[in-house]
Structure 1
Amino acid sequence: MKISRRHVLATLAASSVAAVACQPDPPEAPSGPSSPAASPSASPSALPFGLETPSRVEAVVFDGGFGTGYVRAAAGLLSDLYDGVTVLVTPTTDISGTVADLFADGATPPDLIDNSGVGKLSVASMADDFASLDDVVESENLEGIPIAETLYHGVLDAGTFNGRLIAINYALSVYGLWHSATAFAAAGWAVPATWDTLLELGEEARREGRYLFVWGEGAESYYQELAITSAIKEGGHDVRRALDNLEEGCWFHPAVSGVLDQLELCVAEGFLLDGGPYLEAQERWSRDGEALLYPSGAWIAHEMAGTASADFAFTVAPVPTLTAAPTLPATAIHSAPTEQFLVPERANNPAGGKELLRIMLSQQAAADFSRTNLIPTVVRGSVPADVESTALASQTRLLADAGEDVFTWRFDSHYGLGQETNNAWRGFLRAEYGAAVLAERLQSLTDAVRNDPDIERYTVD
């Protein structure tokens, strides 16, 4: 897909919409005749990182639920702004497999990396390999506003390693139980607020020849997210702090054990469908209606938009709690920035990587991302008002209902535990072992990081 140079800031949406989730995009950035009337001015103030022209910028982008079109659209604008600057956007489904070797001596990593997906880099163990991004957030966006003033509060915390800001996460995901609002309305169901009533819904689903949940290979950790969120709501921030700080015995906290026991009941009752590879599992949920609920972040709406049934109204609800009187309100939610962008210190053109990231953080680029992917970004006020989407509407409602009771954690992504976590949960979801063994395996992963003297740890309050 070629994007004309005429399609600059005012028409980034059209470029982004053309990208299809989970399908590789052509690698080369767009080129073509420019339109001075439509292009923003490349004034000296727009060169805060010393970008040289001509030059080449290389970006490696995770080709998952959001595709790579949003980065390609920003790449097209970068070429529009600066004559002679070309951008190569390389899609991949395995970030570590694609770029890890490029950090070895004598090799050169790309200028910008979207560190996402199960095979992401373990940034905590290689933080010195990445450039500080303080100058990016201190610079002005394309609208002339300092980027730091446009971001949601706290979203930069996830990118701070050893006291340095080296990553900026782009998408703001609301997590919860995703379902079809139309299907639930037709059946007269509400998403249960407690695990007891959730199990009752599982019985109703079984009577209809359906499952309560479906899980897929490669996304087993989605059920860890569900478990942690539910446990934090039940037990409060002590649970969050214990897990995030890698405390001894954190996986045996009563709230965590209680939630894992409930999930073990779901497995034992046959309420969980093994859907095969995760994209196939998600199709069996959203297209075929074999399961009612899917725990996920907000990327799921865009990821499955092309395959879901025509009347599937993607909607998210808060996860259940163990009791009707949890420590945090029932409306409390997990929301966190995702899609971690990094600029390697030894890249050929780190200034180009930063400039591409600066363009992505403009109001218009962020709005176009939300329009296409049905998820907010870390840029405040960038969700288009004219988008009719149950996915966006439900996320907005959950954020409003939660108020200050929005929380997150980052130990699993920070320490690169994605693959090990999936492995631990896979055996549990297949009923190969129960909650007690799962907790032991997860605690072992936690202990290994805590006891590794080569890993710089963070602490949270």
Structure 2
Amino acid sequence: MPRPSRRQLLTAFAVAAVGPLAACTGTPSPGPSSPTSPSPSPSGLPFGLVTPSRVEAVVFDGAFGVGYVEAAAATMSANHPGVTVRVRPVQDIIAVVEPRLAEGGTPPDLVDNSGARLLPVAKLADQFAELDDLMDSASLDGGVLRDTLQHDVLATGTFNDRLIALNYALSVFGLWHSAADFAAAGWEVPRTWDRMFELGAAAKEQGRFLFAWGDEAADYYQELAIASAVKEGGHEVRIALDSLAEGAWSHPAVTGVLEQLEAIVAAGFVVHRGDYLAAQASWLKDRAALLYPAGSWLPTEMSEQIPADYELSVAPVPTLTAAPVLPHAAVHATPTEQFLVPRRASNVAGAFELLRTMLTREAATEFSREHLVPTIVRESVPADVTDTALTSQARLLADAGANVFSWRFVAHYGLSGESNVAWADFLSGQITASVLAARLQTLANRVRNDPAVERYAVE
């Protein structure tokens, strides 16, 4: 998904979140003795890190920018004088990184695989080092590193039974809106799709739209549709979609939600406003639309566009009926911002040390403070932040309790680009809900029937 656009997150995260409301040069550290990862030294780390040496990190320059990696790099360099880190901001990860992964190329040491043009990790899994030794090493805060993380967050980084990716931010998904505007109008974010249609009609009377969308982020509405369908039909819907099952997109809960969206589009309640940043600005700053489906990166991405009186907040997505299988409070939340360490990088040890530094409570707290998004590090949400963008996310997780769910097939199998095209055609009224479902099922079938793609097991 663009500038940021996962495995179930359990209750532990909800409780923790609410409680505290170009090739590298220089002298490289030794690479791995096997094509997986370096082994820790007897003292635990820094995995044979050589001083002096250089580390190159290619970081997606999206909603979160690159400052949080630069801050960790500065701390790492201070802890290990002579080690320098170059953080390279990039927006097209495929164009920059994929050629360097080819035979004869020199990959960067660390890659933040995010954005609209991200690497298809499932097909490139053998190119990346395993992270188990890193997770079993000592945390800079004390104890074992993996024990300092939210429960089950490492599952999203497991490909072909190998832990090769670390997703840093925790994104809570829902319908973003102005709590101040809704309160002033006496509205509530609808709990069902029929009420959503009524809200669209009310918005139209005021010369406003229900939803807005932009070119690169049409598939944000796919996330909305899937989350709604999972809540309506239960985990069998999630399992079918995530497993790329035949007929998954024909499940009654899925088709029902798509048909509701089709009616909303046909009624003229949805507006297209060019590229996705322009669309988000139109929804937010110009108040052209009431609701926008997205994840936790949104407040940071649009920080300069949020009106002072807006009270940006997030609410659960609607369901088809008032009695869905999962409760209305159920929420989609997932780790994002995927970091990878190419196994043929010049300084794998340096990349490991940089990740270890990013996973300190201090680094994670500052990330949440600046970006209003939790991380995978436990007990790192700053207690002194009262911004509604962060507090509403914490409230969603608290209300959801154990009913937090996710999926990963879109990003895992590299389907974002083609899905986005299909959703753009749908939101612009060019295709019907049934045609959209057929196109999305075709994408799933293609991956399922490709013997070169090893698929993950879904529970």
Q: Which residues in structure 2 correspond to 1:172-321 (within 5 Å)?
A: 172-321=170-319
Q: Is the 8 A contact 1:221 1:425 kept in 2?
A: yes
State the 1:139 CA deviation: 1.4
Q: Which one-letter code corresponds to 1:75 in the other structure?
A: A
Q: Which amino acid aligns with 1:179?
A: H
Distance, in Å, in 1 between the alignment partners of 2:409 and 2:170 is 17
Q: Which amino acid aligns with 2:163?
A: L
Q: Work out which of the residue numbers 331, 351, 354 in structure 1 matches 2:352.
A: 354
Q: Deviations over 1:115-147 (max 9, x none)?
A: 011101000001000000011211122212211
1:15 aligns to what?
none
SS class of match (2:304): coil
- Tell me the SS of whatever aligns to 1:447: helix
CA contact (8 A) 2:45 2:137 kept: no
Q: Do the aligned partners of 1:288 and 1:309 also contact (CA within 8 Å) in 2? A: no
Which residue of 1 is the match for residue 77 of structure 2?
Answer: 79
Tell me the secondary structure at the aligned position of residue 153 of structure 2: coil
Instruction: Report the 3-state secondary structure (helix = DSSP H, G, I; strand = E; otherwise coil) of the residue aligned with 1:58.
Output: strand
Residue 337, structure 1, aligned to residue 335, structure 2: yes
Equivalent residue for 1:399, pick from 390, 397, 415: 397
Q: Tell me, yes or no, if the aligned pair for 2:426 and 2:433 is still in contact at 8 Å.
A: yes
Match of 2:21 in 1: none
The answer as to whether partners of 1:61 and 1:115 remain within 8 angstroms in 2 is: yes
* Partner amino acid, structure 2, of 1:419: G
Contact 2:169–2:376 under 8 Å retained in 1: yes
The CA RMSD over aligned residues, in Å, is: 1.1
Query: Where does residue 134 of structure 1 map in the other structure?
Result: 132
Could you tell me whether the CA contact under 8 Å between 1:235 and 1:327 is conserved in 2? yes
The 3-state SS of whatever aligns with 2:222 is helix
Q: Secondary structure at the match of 1:126?
A: helix
**Counterparts in 2 of 1:225 and 1:233: CA distance versus 1, 3 Å:** same
Aligned residue pairs total: 419
When normalised by structure 2's length, the TM-score is 0.90
Aligned to 1:432: 430
Report which structure shows greater RCO (CA 8 Å, sep ≥6).
Answer: 2
- 2:154 aligns to what? 156
1:47 deviation in Å?
2.5
Q: Which of 95, 98, 112 matches 2:96?
A: 98
For 2:94 and 2:48, the matched residues in 1 are separated by 29
Q: Distance in 1 between matches of 2:114 and 2:59?
A: 8
Aligned-partner SS, 2:337: strand
Task: Tell me by how many angstroms 1:259 deviates.
Answer: 0.3
Confirm whether residue 369 of structure 1 aligns to residue 383 of structure 2.
no
Q: Aligned ranges for residues 102-121 of structure 1 at < 5 Å?
A: 102-121=100-119
Q: Could you tell me how far apart the structure 1 residues matched to 2:150 and 2:233 are?
A: 26
CA distance in 1: counterparts of 2:44 and 2:355, whole angstroms: 13
- Identity %, equivalent residues: 62
Give the whole-Å Cα distance in 1 for the aligned partners of 2:237 and 2:373.
28
CA distance, structure 2, for counterparts of residue 92 and residue 398 of structure 1: 32
Amino acid at match of 1:152: Q
Aligned AA (1:101): P
- CA distance, structure 1, for counterparts of residue 153 and residue 217 of structure 2: 24
C-alpha distance in structure 1 between counterparts of 2:73 and 2:42, whole Å: 19
Distance 1:304 1:344 in 2: 32
Partners of 1:184 and 1:117 in 2: how far apart? 31
- Could you tell me how far apart the structure 2 residues matched to 1:229 and 1:335 are? 10
Match of 1:381 in 2: 379
SS of the aligned residue for 1:156 comes to helix
SS at match of 2:375: coil
Cα distance, 1:452 vs structure 2: 0.5
Match of 2:31? none
Q: Is the 8 A contact 1:48 1:139 kept in 2?
A: no
CA–CA separation in structure 2 for the residues paired with 1:44 and 1:112: 24
Which secondary structure does the structure 1 equivalent of 2:169 belong to? strand
Return the offset for 1:415: 0.5
What's the secondary structure of 2:355's corresponding residue?
helix
Cα distance per residue 1:255-276 (max 9 Å; x no partner)? 0000000110111011111011
- Cα distance, 1:45 vs structure 2: 3.9
SS of match in other structure, 1:260: helix
Q: Does 1:171 align with 2:169?
A: yes
Question: 2:109, 2:347 within 8 Å by CA — same for their partners in 1?
Answer: yes
CA contact (8 A) 2:228 2:317 kept: yes
Aligned to 1:19: none
The two structures have a TM-score, normalised by structure 1, of: 0.90
Structure 2, unpaired ranges of 5+: 1-40
Query: Where does structure 1 lack aligned partners over 5 or more consecutive residues?
Result: 1-42
Q: 2:420 aligns with which of 401, 419, 422?
A: 422
Q: Give every structure 1 segment of 4 or more consecutive aligned residues whose post-TM-superposition deviation is greater than 6 Å.
A: none
Q: Please say which of residues 366-375 and 149-158 is displaced more in the overlay.
A: 149-158
Deviation, structure 1 residue 46: 6.3
